[in-house]
Every structure is written in C-alpha cells, then in structure tokens.
C-alpha cells in the first residue's frame, strides 16, 4: 500500500486526511478538504493555483485582518512567492490599505487594491542595486497616493507621497546588508505606519512582528531586526 505524504504550503507540517468542509486560509472560501494541516491551514483549489497578483487580491479582498504584517506574511508563504523576487513589490500597498480599511482608519473601495498592484508591477527586479530604489519601499508611496488620491498635479498630497517613499527608502538603507525581500516588505510596512501616525492621518498601533522565513538562504540572522 502506497503511503501519501503532503506538506502544508504555509507551515510545512505534514497534512492529515480529512473529511469535512473547511474555510480557505487565504480567501475564506469553504470547500470540502480531503487533506488538512494540523494547524488548520487549508488552501482552496483557486488559491492553490493562483499567481502572485491573484493571491494578493484574493487575500486582501476577503480578509478582516487589521494587521498588515500578518497579511504580508500569509501572502509570502504562498508557493508562488520565491525567497526573493519582484512579486514582493506587489503586496506592500494592498496590505497597508486593507489593514487600515478593516481597522476603520480609512474608507476606500477594495477595487483600489488592483490599481495598487498595477502600479507596483511596473517596478523591475533588482532595482535596489541598479537604481538605488526598492519596489517594496515604493509600495509605501503607492499606498499614500491611493489613500490621498494624489496625482502629479496635486499639492500636499503629492508631497506626502514623495516624502513617504523617501522615508521608507532611508529606513531600508539604514538596515544595511545585501537585499532581503522579506525584510524590505516588513521595513516598508513599518515605515508607512510610522509616517501615517506622525502625520496624524491615522491613529494605529504598530504590531510587533518577527520573520517566519529564518531558514531562508542568505538570511541575515541577528543582523536583521525582524529575526
């Protein structure tokens, strides 16, 4: 008799046979699950097959979470997210917008998440080294632009957008070391919340978060604030 073993894509625990309906950890859709993680993680068929852009939207458009770090972490655990890659650029603005919306800090249509992702997709891979830029940090500017509805003709809104991106880049530069896309995402989210609180655009307690990707090749270990 062949013994089948499957790993949970989120926590990597061995899946157990199941015979009940379960809500998808990513989108909340309820489906019959033949296999279930001991930590109750379940990924529906649509989310399992989703690409980075789609899984980001499925999470952000269906969650009630008020924690942008929690949302980012869940998305980065999806199998289509590599250890490092430009797909990380996509998630910063949507998770910030979504968490603030769910916390009642802003009123915004979830369709703006798609606009945020479209803007972030324009950022090429490796620009942190080749241009002195970072797609995750620019995600902060994208979030501020969408929240304030800034355009290139705006006055204070445009200034806030540029300042937010600049601060996020400076915060990231101070962390040093070679690039880590997970760290860049965490740092950018933290910079955005700090900036928005300072400008009194929101009143939001910054969650304390530790990285869940410590086994990654190239991890900076104790040199990273999120380790």
pLDDT tens for the chain, 227 residues: list them. 455 678 898 888 999 999 999 999 999 999 999 989 999 999 999 999 999 999 999 999 999 999 999 999 999 999 999 999 999 999 999 999 999 999 999 999 989 999 999 999 998 888 888 888 899 999 999 999 999 999 999 999 999 999 999 999 999 999 988 889 999 999 999 999 999 999 999 998 888 888 999 888 889 999 999 99
Residues in a beta bridge with 35: 17
Nearest-angstrom CA–CA distance, 183 and 205: 20
Is residue 135 within 8 Å of 74, Cβ to Cβ? no
CB atoms within 10 A of CB 153: 7
Q: What was the pLDDT predicted at 159?
A: 97
* Helix-helix angle 112-120:52-60, to 10 degrees: 150
Nearest-angstrom CA–CA distance, 49 and 51: 7
Tokens of 221: 């270990």
Looking at the whole model, is its pTM more than 0.85? yes
Is residue 123 within 8 Å of 146, Cβ to Cβ? no
Q: What was the pLDDT predicted at 207?
A: 82
């Amino acid at each position: 008799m062949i013994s089948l073993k499957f790993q949970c894509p989120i926590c990597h625990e061995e899946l157990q046979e199941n015979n009940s309906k379960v809500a998808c950890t990513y989108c909340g859709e309820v489906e019959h699950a033949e296999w279930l993680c001991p930590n109750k993680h379940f990924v529906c068929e649509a989310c399992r097959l989703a690409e980075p852009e789609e899984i980001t939207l499925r999470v952000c458009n269906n969650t009630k979470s008020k924690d942008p770090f929690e949302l980012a972490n869940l998305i980065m655990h999806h199998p289509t997210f590599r250890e490092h890659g430009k797909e990380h650029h996509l998630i910063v603005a949507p998770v910030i917008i979504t968490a603030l919306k769910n916390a009642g800090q802003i009123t915004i249509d979830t369709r703006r998440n798609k606009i945020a992702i479209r803007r972030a997709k324009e950022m090429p891979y490796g620009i942190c080294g080749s241009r002195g830029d970072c797609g995750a940090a620019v995600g902060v500017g994208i979030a501020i632009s969408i929240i304030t509805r800034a355009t290139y003709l705006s006055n204070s809104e445009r200034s806030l957008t540029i300042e937010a991106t600049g601060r996020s880049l400076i915060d990231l530069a101070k962390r040093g070391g070679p690039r880590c896309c997970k760290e860049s995402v965490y740092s950018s989210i933290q910079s955005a919340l700090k900036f928005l609180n300072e400008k009194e655009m929101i009143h939001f307690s910054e969650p304390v978060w530790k990285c869940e990707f410590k086994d990654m090749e190239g991890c900076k270990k104790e040199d990273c604030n999120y380790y």
